[in-house]
Amino acid sequence: MIKKLFIFTLLLVFSAASQATSLKAFGGNPTPPPLMLKDLEGKSHSLDANMGKVVLVQFWATYCGPCRKEMPTMNKMIKKLEAQGVPFKILAIDMGESAAEVRKFVDEVKPEFTILLDESGKSIQDWKVFAVPSNFIIDPQGQIRYTLFGGVDWANEELLAKVAALAK
Amino acid sequence: MHNLKVFILMLLLAISSRPVLAVSVNTLEVPDAELEVRKFEADGDRLLLGFPCDEGANAIEEKTAQMLAEDGIEVWMPDMLGAYMLPNLRDSLGEIPDQALLDLIESAVATGKQVYLIASGPYARVLLRAAADWEKTHEQKLAGVVLIFPRLFKGDPEPGKQPQYVDAVGTTKLPIMLLEGGHTPNRWGLTPLRQALSKGGSQVITKVIPQIRGHLFTGKDKNRTEEVVTSQMAGLIKVSLFYIQEFEQ
């Protein structure tokens, strides 16, 4: 009886762990809303300009604990995918905060990817984002393939394999 | 010396002119339990009924209640979870019996005051359930609802899709005032939430409080704005009641 309970607990723990890092196939309209925003230096970035790459579009905020925790793993993700030759880009959109607030966060956490500002919240509403962090994985043809809500280890091999497979 | 006498006299007058506030703990018989309700009594004709406060656990809530009572708004803080020995978890909220909520509202209505319901975070779902049940079974109207940073999603909202709300959303006709923090993802969902809440016939006003992350009562790492807003929560609630009264006119 105790042995069965132990196995059941292990299964529960492993299933929870795998759910926590799993990308969810997107069942909605795969054509993403337009995305054109400026970074902290005032340079414009668009999703369209990244056709041909796998793109992680992330909506995040400085007040979001999981965002702070996972950003270093996003830096690792870029390096790992680069090493595999996967054309990859991260566009991380801050949810409605000021440039000063975002700059302070960036100085502390040091993300090595594109941070975009959306003080008006237009893209947040266009993309139907109601929780943070919310993630969209776009394939090289510009279609939304996966979504993921919550903080994860983006350098996780299983997750990286799914992202890399989109480039093949 | 004369000045000192005048000062003492004025001080005594000031103390005696302050309303005498009574805080009492009453027990209400509800199905299978005894419910403790902390009452911050006041002479005014408005009563604010909290759902379901964690009795005695939060000094800030108590201070807010005291400030409201000083302004003539009576506040009741029932310990719904404690009455049923439920842990302070989101799942516990569904286990509070409907009849206990109705009995509590009935007791508040029996005072003859205008009864407003107030809740924050996930407790808002209990409040909406109670309001809808009351409307179904009683003719006497409640005055309105104040929701502070309500958390009403059914599960986690899926990126790229319209959010799903708990069943209690959109079931009451009562006017609703909803306060949300500017530094929360929920502020971006106010439009669909307002639409969903309105489906029952409620008039809904939403107000975003800038630079606030939510969890005003429980946050331990408050920024300066959050500290100020927390200390002025009673004022925000009074403004909310004012807006609800405006609805009715």
pLDDT averages per 10-residue partition of chain A, 168 residues: 48 42 90 97 98 98 95 98 98 96 97 97 96 97 97 96 95
pLDDT given for residue B227 in this prediction: 85
Give the model's confidence band at B60: pLDDT under 50 very low, under 70 low, under 90 confident, else very high: confident
With vertex at residue B192, the alpha carbon angle to CA B191 and CA B197, rounded to the nearest 5 degrees, is: 100
Structural domains for chain A: 24-165 (3.40.30.10)
Instruction: Report yes or no on B90 lying in a domain.
Output: yes
Cβ separation A127–B159 shorter than 8 A? yes
Residue of B nearest to A97 (CA): B183
pLDDT given for residue B90 in this prediction: 80
Contacts of A92 in chain B (CB under 8 A): none
Instruction: Report yes or no on B8 lying in a domain.
Output: no
Distance between A72 CA and the closest CA of chain B, angstroms: 22
Question: How many domains is chain B built from?
Answer: 1
Residue of A nearest to B162 (CA): A128
Instruction: Report yes or no on B197 lying in a domain.
Output: yes
Closest Cβ opposite residue A128 in set B156, B161, B186? B161
Whole-angstrom Cα distance, residue A49 to residue A127?
A: 18
Q: What is the pLDDT of residues B184-229, one digit of tens each?
A: 999 999 999 999 999 999 999 999 999 888 666 566 677 888 888 8
ipTM above 0.90, yes or no: no
pLDDT given for residue B73 in this prediction: 97
pLDDT given for residue A14 in this prediction: 40
pLDDT given for residue B53 in this prediction: 53
For residue B98, the domain's CATH number is 3.40.50.1820
Cβ separation B159–A132 shorter than 8 A? no
Is it the case that residue B239 has pLDDT exceeding 60? yes
Whole-angstrom Cα distance, residue B115 to residue B105?
A: 8
With vertex at residue B146, the alpha carbon angle to CA B172 and CA B153, rounded to the nearest 5 degrees, is: 65
Instruction: Report yes or no on B235 lying in a domain.
Output: yes
The answer to whether B226 and B37 are in contact (CB under 8 A) is: no
Q: What is the pLDDT of residues B82-108, one digit of tens each?
A: 899 988 888 888 889 999 999 999 999
Best to test chain A binding among B183, B211, B216, B226 (most A CBs inside 10 Å): B183
Is it the case that residue B4 has pLDDT exceeding 70? no
Whole-angstrom Cα distance, residue A121 to residue B112?
A: 45
Instruction: Report yes or no on B109 lying in a domain.
Output: yes
Instruction: Report yes or no on B179 lying in a domain.
Output: yes
Contacts of B188 in chain A (CB under 8 A): 95-96, 121, 124-125, 129-130
Give percent of chain B above pLDDT 90. Answer: 65
Q: Are strands B73-78 and B114-121 parallel, antiparallel or unpaired?
A: unpaired
DSSP conformation class of A33: P
**Structural domain boundaries, residue B32:** 20-248
- Please indicate whether residue A8 or residue B244 has the higher confidence score (pLDDT): B244
Amino acid making up residue A63: Y
pLDDT given for residue B204 in this prediction: 97
Instruction: Report yes or no on B79 lying in a domain.
Output: yes
Instruction: Report yes or no on B107 lying in a domain.
Output: yes
* B140 to A122, B51, B101, B168, B242: CA distances (angstroms): 43, 19, 15, 20, 21
pLDDT, averaged across chain B: 87
Cβ separation B186–A28 shorter than 8 A? no
Query: pTM for this structure?
Result: 0.85
